[in-house]
Structure 1
């Protein structure tokens, strides 16, 4: 749950009082807010005389310097490379968040795009490193979101600090030792299931697009329905190819008419927008016959039937990943021992609109 500004201020004061001093970047990460938001909070509290701002740290009044054991501040003026598979979809906001974080430290973000071609990741990395970037933010074109068959080798040998963005590596893979920042997509699916359950739905399904996030969303869905005693339609296709809408429409129509499905999670919201009018043309109304939650919230609110959606904290992912990489660059430049690696999972939000309705599932059929 996002803290109210007054609650956040009290939490800032509590942490600074307890520790004497704390870096702004660390404080933002601990509170789960953007560095820009946290800096505004600190400026407000400093104006009130309740804290002091000193060398990028927040200090309890009376302390003249941050504690000596604190790590160096993020590198100012750093050149950061970022490799993404596309600048569309969720990555537009992720790139924007990273660019703002790097820019706030007087640095520059240089972008490389792989186009979802696995072999292009290393080409882009080599080009960026040769051009002088001091670290890499990377969302590799790993089809399942994790490296297979040595796909991580180039990343481990790139020669500069690297942070994974919206990707991860399984335990035992060398890339699991890297820092990472990603959305907890399994939790997002669980939140969707919880909303369906609260509305009275007891038999649900999912239509998931193949790609890096399908396994996480599916795993979260399955775990959530087990814990809540909800049924998942066993005839559901696990994932589908991008653009294969006819198969999805036919499946959902039969699921509603013949198997009692009353709710569906659809990834992505762009796909959901395509599916809704096709379903209605087949006599399946959203939300009357089928409640629907989209995943990603890129354009869900613009649909003819505004779509309830799971919204990843896209900009915050970029900001936190960039700040973490800047810390690694500063440690290397100052010949400092590296602080512990971090695996940061950010929780998505549920944004409620019209596509789930407000009635108990099946009430209009009694």
Structure 2
């Protein structure tokens, strides 16, 4: 039978008094509660001066802190839960960056996967928190990259420090008050357009995937075309998650023939790699007839014609998100006044390869 909070506090005091000191993980297991619940109990009792909280352990007041059981570097250190839709594409490096940052501080990163299923996000969070996660790094399965229809509610109910990763919430949405770290994808798209314009291209198309990053890339593309005074190209059909390429292919062929398009931004580089041979089969060479810049730089360099690409700072996103969450946990543990919430946007970089070709400016002009 589950103990009431007051009964649980009494039991914690009995066990710590009898043994002098206990590891938090051992105490949680003995009481049959999650490590998160037990840590809250210990924090409440420590605030009343009834126990002493050490790193990963609880000590009876007046006992020798040196006798407290040593916390193992990872298992008994801070546990961070991370929920991502996949470990493919950009998230492989994001997870790697977060893991390295957490382990560098003696903690442990535990991964949950949603598979882009919206209802799986809260289920994974419950599982991670029940297993002892003290905070969450989350890239929710929000199709447009922002919450709609109350999708953020479960995040606000978690009651642990949470940092959004490669996601955001619009002003006025409660999730906008959460810390977040993401790539400035609009800046990356603008970099691509500016580079193509510098090579003399005046009519530049964009072929983008449906999904969380489309809005940012599209906004940067449109803003850059407008600010540089380039030709406006009719919008393209999106590449679906299932990878339907017939419509984007026909769009590019027609854009070249009817609108004088000589360059394109394609998200992602995997999609660009699929499109290049299809374009060549239609008599369109890359970069001779069409200069290409891909977005993501996962495998762009491995293409038959190595692709110029926009490279998000993936590992840095994971690293900074983890460090920000660890800061929030330290503030909570020590009772410090929390620093202001942060919205961090990291700038991607342009990596130039063969798919752009050379300067298209007419040398006689």
Q: In the TM superposition, what are the counterparts of 1:114-153 in structure 2 within 5 Å?
A: 114-153=114-153
Report the Cα offset of residue 78 of structure 1: 1.1
Aligned pairs, number: 288
Q: Secondary structure at the match of 2:354?
A: coil
Which whole-Å CA distance do the structure 1 matches of 2:237 and 2:146 have between them?
18
Which whole-Å CA distance do the structure 1 matches of 2:292 and 2:352 have between them?
11
Which whole-Å CA distance do the structure 1 matches of 2:251 and 2:222 have between them?
19
Q: Secondary structure at the match of 2:145?
A: coil
Report the Cα offset of residue 98 of structure 1: 0.2
RMSD: 1.4
Higher relative contact order (CA 8 A, sep 6+): 1
Matched, 1:229 2:233: no
Residues 214 and 239 of structure 1 are in contact (CA less than 8 Å); yes or no, is this contact kept in structure 2? no
**Which residue does the alignment assign to 1:275?**
275
4+ runs of 1 displaced by more than 6 Å?
none
Give the TM-score taking structure 2 as reference length.
Answer: 0.77
Report the Cα offset of residue 335 of structure 1: 1.6
Report the Cα offset of residue 159 of structure 1: 1.5
Which whole-Å CA distance do the structure 1 matches of 2:280 and 2:206 have between them?
18
Give the TM-score taking structure 1 as reference length.
Answer: 0.77
**Which residue does the alignment assign to 1:343?**
343
**Which residue does the alignment assign to 2:354?**
354
**Which residue does the alignment assign to 1:91?**
91
Show structure 2 runs of 5+ residues with no match: 1-75
Which whole-Å CA distance do the structure 1 matches of 2:239 and 2:316 have between them?
29
**Which residue does the alignment assign to 1:300?**
300
Which whole-Å CA distance do the structure 2 matches of 1:277 and 1:307 have between them?
13
Q: Secondary structure at the match of 1:118?
A: coil
Deviations 1:269-312 (A, max 9, x none): 00000000000000011001000000000000000000000000
Q: Secondary structure at the match of 2:110?
A: strand
Residues 208 and 268 of structure 1 are in contact (CA less than 8 Å); yes or no, is this contact kept in structure 2? yes
Show structure 1 runs of 5+ residues with no match: 1-75
Deviations 1:90-132 (A, max 9, x none): 0000000000000000100000000000000000000001111
**Which residue does the alignment assign to 1:162?**
162
Q: Secondary structure at the match of 1:231?
A: coil
* Range with greater deviation from structure 2 (304-313 or 247-256): 247-256
**Which residue does the alignment assign to 1:25?**
none
Residues 192 and 265 of structure 1 are in contact (CA less than 8 Å); yes or no, is this contact kept in structure 2? yes
Deviations 1:195-223 (A, max 9, x none): 01100000111000000000000001111
Deviations 1:145-171 (A, max 9, x none): 000010000001111100000000000
Report the Cα offset of residue 238 of structure 1: 5.2
**Which residue does the alignment assign to 2:57?**
none
